[in-house]
Amino acid sequence: MSESTTPSSESSADRTAKTRQLLGMKGAQPGETNLWKIRLQLMKPITWIPLIWGVVCGAASSGQYTWSLEHVLIAAACMLLSGPLLAGYTQTINDFYDRDIDAINEPYRPIPSGAISIPQVVTQITVLLAGGIALAYVLDLWAGHSFPTITVLAIGGSFLSYIYSAPPLKLKKNGWLGNYALGASYIALPWWAGHALFGDLNWKIVVLTLFYSLAGLGIAVVNDFKSVEGDRQLGLKSLPVMFGVSTAAWICVLMIDVFQLGVAGYLMAIQQNLYAVLLILLVIPQITFQDMYFLRDPLQNDVKYQASAQPFLVLGMLVTALALGHALV
């Protein structure tokens, strides 16, 4: 009986590994030969989700989004900009400059494994960047912007992605600065793009989302636990390397919780009390999963923690966006 079930079990495991590899997740296995699948793996589709969600939040906070076909299609174009194009560019260029680290931490990744050549990677980076900036300009034309807000955001975000990954600055070498740049890129930038597409981007939205990005800094730190050994060998000062695994885990969860609660306090200050209460209620399960998984063993439970807790964080972002949009109406 056990012999007859082994092939099925192995087949299921193989399918899981291939899916994880295609999405750009930790725990994939080498062996993919299809170039387009390899290109997709480099773009890490799993990372597009928060940026697409950021566009949704920006549209909601504008207070001017409607469920017309035109608005739906334009919002989808902005999601394409923030997710597959510019997040894909960011992930590809990060893998390009991290190929030495990945050779230690994740040798199955496309570049260190030799599954794709360096010229092919450079071509992918160029096409994604050019496509993103071109689409941003088209969105500015649709919105009738006298100042090309979305194009500037696309160029600025792309530059931030470059200096995050590339020497000599390589912001990711600094645990605080690098993770905040990552958090802001995943929360503030797509939020600004979605808001500017349908409304007027103002300093209150900019400041609040940058504040919210400090919670995103905590989320970014979670990703550092999977590469502690490689970061230590190559001299990258991630928080787990600087403070140790246990202390860094506490810093991470406190950043995530405290700044979300700070946003809830702001919502109360602008008389959006119902939304503030909803946001607080969404923080509670995050704290529960932090205690259950992350604080007990951040090295083993980082993925499990993200899968269980992050949905509540992104729902909290939407609650905040709806509150801001409601305040504008």
CATH 1.20.1630 fits 40-328, yes or no: no
Tens digit of each residue's pLDDT, the chain (329 residues): 444 444 445 566 666 666 666 666 665 566 677 899 999 999 999 889 889 999 999 999 999 999 999 999 999 999 999 999 999 999 999 999 999 888 887 888 899 989 999 999 999 999 999 999 999 999 999 999 999 999 999 999 999 999 999 999 999 888 899 989 999 999 999 999 999 999 999 999 999 999 999 999 998 888 888 778 778 887 778 899 999 999 999 999 999 999 999 999 999 999 999 999 999 999 999 999 999 999 999 989 988 898 899 899 999 999 999 999 999 86
| Amino acid in the structure at residue 316 | G
| Amino acid in the structure at residue 163 | I
Sole residue written with tokens 């510019």: 86
Is the link from the previous residue into 168 a cis peptide, with omega within 30 of 0?
yes
Sole residue written with tokens 């990945």: 102
Which residues make beta-bridge pairs with 174?
A: 237
Query: pTM score, two decimals?
Result: 0.89
* Residue closest to 273 by CA, chosen among 282, 281, 284, 264: 264
